[in-house]
Amino acid sequence: MARDGNYSKAPIVIAFATSNRSNAKYKVKVVRNRNIDELIDCNYIIPGISAKCIIKEVGIGEIFVDRYKKKYGI
């Protein structure tokens, strides 16, 4: 049975580094209008995150914004 894309609309929080260098800046992006399957798909381009960025962590929910900001010192 195929799903129709009516997933929960909880915000998806992505923590990423701007490059693969050790001194790269860490940033947090919140995506509200997509589901997690579309964002994890390798062929999908996330708006605001370039192709050379390294995605460190992905979480679902508002609590991950504060957790990732505290963890990565943003």
DSSP 18-52: SSSSTTPPEEEEEE-SS-HHHHHSTTPPPTT--TT
Q: Examine the pLDDT at 72 and tell me if it is beyond 70.
A: yes
What pTM, to 2 d.p., does this model score?
A: 0.79
Residue pLDDT, tens place only, 49-67: 888 888 899 999 999 999 9
Enumerate residues 6+ apart whose C-beta is below 8 A from 33: none
Mean per-residue pLDDT, 62-74: 92
Instruction: State the CB neighbour count (10 A cutoff) for residue 2.
Output: 4
How many residues does this entry show for the chain?
74
